[in-house]
Amino acid sequence: MRAETAALTADYLKSTDPDRYYASLLIGEDKRAAVQSLYAFAAEVASVRERVSEPTPGEIRLQWWDDALRGQGHGNVRSNPVADALLTTIGDYGLPIVPLQRLIAARRFDLYQDPMPDLTSFEGYAGETVSVLYQFAAMVLNDGVPVEDGDAAGHLGVANAFIGHVRAFGFNASQHRIFLPLPLFRANGVTESQIFAGTPTEGIRAALGQAIDLAGEHLGKAEAAIGALSPSLRPAFAYAPVLRAALGQLKHVQEQPFAPPPDMASWRKIAAMSWWTWRNR
């Protein structure tokens, strides 16, 4: 990968998804740019919803990325440094493009106001948008060879998604969007209109508590699976301790669902990941 492309991609990742940028710093320098290209691509696709005012322009942008992956991009695709970096990584490590296409397809859900219909759909969405990043980072560390990770990537991705969407519950509700599985709320007597009204209820708190419990279950399974991996692959999962710390803060969200949630300082995240990586090497 050209040094200029790698630097621009790293800068883009740092500005759009600083947490994954910090996690990428725990990857060896020889493979860091490749992992950053995957994270930057995911950040770019995830940000499409916030940069469009209606679905159609978002669909067009997502289609651009799908075309680029299939080698049918319009214009000079490689002039986009993130696309250039991603395509270089795919070529260097022989990564399959289908999971990345599924990531793009899953992000189409973000463009619309439909609520997350059920737990299975949520887990599928989490797998296609988050778990794939852990899976591919591990493959890069394994020189492109698929990793039998005991579903470390799958469980960590779902835990990551649950924690992120519990934290973002209030913001998403203000946008009339529900990313957590709707049946969790309906089972506790909560309607969509109550969520969009922004008024905390015991039913909302109970539903969020159940989402927190599910996040904890997946995180525990992920941690067990990561522990069974070769130490050389574990840096791909260095974000796990940040998720463990974030899980402990979710009670605040449960108590005040529509208030901005607390967050760890960046230096604390870096320290947690660095210590975890040192212990797991």
**38-73 pLDDT, tens per residue?**
999 999 999 999 999 899 999 999 999 999 999 876
* Whether 138 and 52 share a structural domain: no
The H helix count followed by the E strand count for the chain is 15, 0
pLDDT at 75 over 70: no
- What gap in Å lies between CA 103 and CA 111, rounded to an integer? 14
- Tell me the per-residue pLDDT of 119-145, one tens digit each, with 9 for 90 and over: 999 999 999 999 999 999 999 999 999
Q: Which of 62, 97, 112 is the last residue of a domain?
A: 112
| Predicted confidence (pLDDT) at residue 154 exceeds the cutoff of 90 | yes
Does 150 have pLDDT greater than 80? no
Task: CATH number of the domain at 224, please.
Answer: 1.10.600.10
pLDDT at 79: 87
Same domain, 41 and 107: yes
Average pLDDT (20-41) is: 97
Per-residue pLDDT of 192-231, as tens digits, reads: 999 999 999 999 999 999 999 999 999 999 999 999 999 9
Q: Are residues 2 and 131 in the same domain?
A: no
d(CA 81, CA 6): 8
pLDDT score of 239 more than 70? yes
Last residue in a domain, options 58, 89, 112: 112
Q: Which of the 8 DSSP states describes residue 116?
A: P
Angstrom CA distances, 136 to 58, 160, 231, stand at 25, 16, 16
- Could you tell me the pLDDT band of residue 2, with boundaries at 50, 70 and 90? confident
238 shares its domain with 131: yes
pLDDT at residue number 7: 96
- What pLDDT is stored for residue 77 in this prediction? 83
- Of 32, 28, 21, 24, the C-alpha closest to 232 is 28
pTM over 0.85: yes
Packing angle, helices 152-167 and 119-126, rounded to 10 = 110
pLDDT score recorded for residue 73: 65
Tell me, yes or no, whether 72 and 188 share the same domain: no
Q: Which tokens in the block code for residue 203? A: 């039913």
- Beta carbons of 240 and 276 less than 8 angstroms apart: yes
Contact 1, 85 (CB under 8 A): yes
* pLDDT above 90 for 74: no
Same domain, 95 and 227: no
Q: Are residues 102 and 151 in the same domain?
A: no
In this structure, are 173 and 156 located in the same domain?
Answer: yes
Domain count for the chain? 2
83 with 169, same domain: the answer is no
Instruction: State whether the Cα torsion 270-272-276-278 is positive or negative.
Output: positive
Is residue 98 domain-shared with residue 144, that is, in the same domain? no
Residues in contact with 130: Cβ distance below 8 Å, sequence separation at least 6, in sequence order: 156, 157, 158, 160, 161
What pLDDT, on a 0 to 100 scale, did the predictor assign at position 91? 96
User: Do 130 and 40 share a structural domain?
Assistant: no
pLDDT at 1: 83
Query: Nearest-CA neighbor of 167 among 107, 265, 271, 246?
Result: 246
Least confident range from 39-43, 150-154, 268-272: namely 150-154
Of 92, 112, 132, the one marking the end of a domain is 112
59 Cβ neighbours under 8 A, 6+ residues apart: 108, 111
How far is the CA of 260 from the CAs of 46, 160, 187, 214, 217, in angstroms?
21, 18, 25, 22, 25
Q: What domain range includes position 223? A: 113-280
The average pLDDT across 62-85 equals 88
Q: Which of 131, 120, 138 is nearest to 153 (CA)?
A: 131
Same-domain pairing of 125 and 165: yes
Q: 281 pLDDT exceeds 90?
A: no
